[in-house]
Amino acid sequence: MLAGTIGNLLDRFLVGSVTDMIQLDFINFPIFNVADSCVTIGVIVLFLVILLAKPESEKHAE
Residues with active-site annotation: 20, 36
Bridge partner residues of 22 (DSSP):
32
The answer to whether 1 and 37 are in contact (CB under 8 A) is no
Distance CA 50, CA 42 (A): 12
